[in-house]
């Protein structure tokens, strides 16, 4: 099956346009969805940083105000653990994937180790805080407060590093997708230029065909030249059809010219025969002996005609007599 046809070229170019547009739309949709997910993950990682600060501030508040209401402290710890687990293992409820790279996974593990130490100090502080005042060891409580303060700074720094890693990963992934989009746009531009070039070629081929057709109409030549065009299949087929018609016309014109030539030759021959016959008649007319023979032959023809007429009359009389005899015989019966 040939591919050099206008229909196949148009379908192929159209298919490439559709595919590239779908790719651009698909990558754009994917990029937007991925950006939303990445923004959610970065927001969760950033919230972990805020939760560590909230826990530390709540501990300082409880310590300096002698309060035992640990509701906010417990809520912040629970949320931090839940978010850290979601970042490490993923979460189907919030559509969060687990750590995308080993580097991020290792950083989460580091944060988790620091969190365990931080959470242990917070737990010890809470346990001493909830004991009766007479049994409280203020010195130990203060040591745990200092420990929370020290571990909080390290935990906060590592959580900041985790947020930065997620941010860089998201930006790099976005850049790669944008490169794909730029590549698709470039391919579309190249395809547009190719389409224009192909349309120009098809237009020129069609123009050549119509120009030659006009030349055939206006031509006064006795022999038409076939058209030769290297073009698409449809134009080549139309050209072949026109060339077949031209061949038939040329054949008819050649046959007509041959017939005219033969007629002309026959006319010349007839004139020659006529001239020769006129010469013979003149010679016969001027010959005395031949004239006498012709007169004699004419007399003989006349005499033969008269004898034939007489014989015919006698036969008719004989037939009449025979008819009379037949009639008489019928009467006798």
* 200: pLDDT strictly greater than 50: yes
pLDDT score at 326? 42
Residue 278 has pLDDT above 80, yes or no: no
pLDDT reported for residue 188: 84
C-beta of residue 78 within 8 angstroms of C-beta of residue 47? no
Q: What is residue 329's predicted lDDT score, i.e. its pLDDT?
A: 42
> Residue 160 — pLDDT band, cuts 50, 70, 90?
very high
Residue 119 pLDDT more than 60? yes
**pLDDT at site 327:** 52
Pick 166 or 319 by higher pLDDT.
166
pLDDT score at 325: 47
Measured between its terminal Cα atoms, the distance across the chain in Å is 101
In angstroms, the Cα distances linking 61 to 54, 72, 77, 129, 141 are 10, 11, 16, 12, 13
Name the residue ranges covered by the structural domains of the chain.
Answer: 6-205, 297-332
User: Which residue has tokens 């058209």?
Assistant: 227
pLDDT at 296: 56
Which residue has 């001027």 as its token pair?
A: 286
Give residue 306's pLDDT.
61
Q: Is the pLDDT of residue 314 over 70?
A: no
More confident residue, 178 or 268: 178
Alpha-carbon span 222 to 63, nearest angstrom? 118
Residue 59 pLDDT exceeds 70: yes
Which residue matches tokens 């022999």? Answer: 223
Residue position matching structure tokens 């009359």 = 313
Helices (H) and strands (E) in the chain, counts: 6, 0
Residue where the block lists tokens 């944060």 = 111
What are the φ and ψ backbone dihedral angles of 93, each rounded to 5 degrees?
-65, -45
Query: What are the pLDDT digits (tens) for 291-304?
Result: 555 555 555 545 55
Contacts of 53 (CB under 8 A, 6+ apart): 152, 156
78: confidence class by pLDDT, cuts 50, 70, 90? very high
The secondary structure of 80-140 as a DSSP string is HHHHHHHHHH-BTTTTB---SSHHHHHHHHHHHHHHHHHHHHHHHHHHHHTS-GGG--HHH
Q: Averaging pLDDT over each range in 5-9, 262-266, 327-331, which range is the top one?
A: 5-9
Alpha-carbon 135 to chain mean position: 85
Is it the case that residue 330 has pLDDT exceeding 50? no
The better pLDDT of the pair 31, 316 is held by 31
pLDDT band at 219 (very low <50, low <70, confident <90, very high): low
Higher-confidence residue of 220 and 36: namely: 36
pLDDT digits (tens, 9 = 90+) for 231-271: 566 666 667 676 676 677 667 666 666 656 666 665 666 56
Q: Which CATH number fits domain 6-205: 3.30.70.1880, 3.30.70.1520, 1.10.287.3510, 1.20.120.1730?
A: 1.20.120.1730
Mean pLDDT of 119-125: 88
Helix (H, G, I), strand (E, B) or coil at 91: strand
Res 161: pLDDT: 92
Whole-model pTM? 0.56
- Cβ atoms 162, 108 nearer than 8 A: yes
Residue 81 has pLDDT above 80, yes or no: yes
Report the SS3 class of residue 26. Answer: helix
Name the residue among 186, 197, 185 with its Cα closest to residue 21.
185
What mean pLDDT do residues 197-219 have?
Answer: 72
Rg of the Cα trace of the chain?
61
Going 138 to 142 to 145 to 147, the CA torsion angle's sign is: negative
What's the mean per-residue pLDDT of the chain? Answer: 75
- Given this model, what pLDDT does residue 216 score? 64
**Residue 112's pLDDT is what?**
92
Token pair listed for 231: 């073009």
Q: Is 159 exposed, middle or buried (0-12, 13-18, 19+ CB in 10 A)?
A: buried
Classify 96 as helix, strand or coil.
Answer: strand
Question: Which range is least confidently modeled, 101-105, 219-223, 324-328?
Answer: 324-328
Please enumerate, as own/partner, the contacts of 214-220 that have beta carbons within 8 Å and a separation of 24 or more: 216/242, 216/246
Going by C-alpha positions, the residue among 4, 17, 332 that lies closest to residue 195 is: 17
Query: How high is the pLDDT of residue 142?
Result: 85
Provide the CB-side half-sphere exposure for 137 (13 A, CA).
8
The answer to whether the CB of 55 falls within 8 A of the CB of 80 is yes
Residue carrying structure tokens 């030769």: 228
- What is the rounded CA–CA span in Å between residue 156 and residue 46? 10
């Amino acid at each position: 099956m040939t591919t050099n046809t206008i229909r196949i070229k148009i379908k192929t170019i159209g298919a490439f346009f559709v595919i590239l547009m779908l790719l651009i739309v698909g990558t754009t949709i994917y990029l937007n969805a991925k950006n939303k997910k990445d923004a959610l993950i970065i927001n969760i990682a950033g919230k972990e940083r805020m939760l560590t600060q909230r826990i530390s501030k709540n501990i300082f508040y409880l310590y300096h105000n002698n309060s035992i209401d640990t509701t906010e402290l417990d809520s912040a710890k629970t949320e931090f653990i839940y978010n850290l687990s979601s970042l490490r293992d993923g979460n189907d409820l919030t559509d969060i994937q687990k750590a995308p790279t080993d580097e991020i996974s290792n950083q989460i593990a580091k944060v988790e180790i620091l969190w365990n130490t931080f959470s242990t100090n917070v737990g010890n502080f809470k346990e001493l805080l909830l004991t009766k005042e007479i049994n409280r060891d203020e010195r130990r409580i203060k040591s745990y407060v200092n420990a929370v303060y020290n571990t909080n700074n390290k935990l906060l720094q590592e959580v900041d590093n985790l947020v930065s890693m997620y941010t860089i990963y998201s930006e790099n992934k976005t850049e790669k997708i944008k490169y794909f989009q730029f590549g698709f746009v470039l391919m579309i531009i190249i395809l547009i230029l190719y389409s224009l070039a192909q349309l120009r070629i098809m237009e020129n081929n069609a123009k050549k065909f119509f120009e030659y057709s006009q030349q055939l109409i206006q031509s006064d030549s006795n022999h038409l030249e076939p058209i030769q065009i290297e073009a698409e299949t449809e134009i080549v087929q139309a050209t072949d059809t026109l060339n077949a018609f031209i061949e038939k016309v040329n054949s008819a014109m050649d046959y007509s010219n041959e017939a005219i030539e033969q007629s002309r030759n026959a006319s010349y021959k007839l004139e020659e025969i006529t001239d020769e016959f006129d010469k013979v008649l003149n010679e016969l007319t001027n010959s005395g002996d031949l004239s006498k023979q012709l007169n004699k032959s004419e007399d003989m023809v006349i005499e033969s005609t008269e004898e034939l007429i007489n014989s015919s009359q006698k036969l008719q009389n004989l037939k009449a007599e025979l008819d009379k005899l037949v009639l008489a015989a019928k009467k006798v019966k």
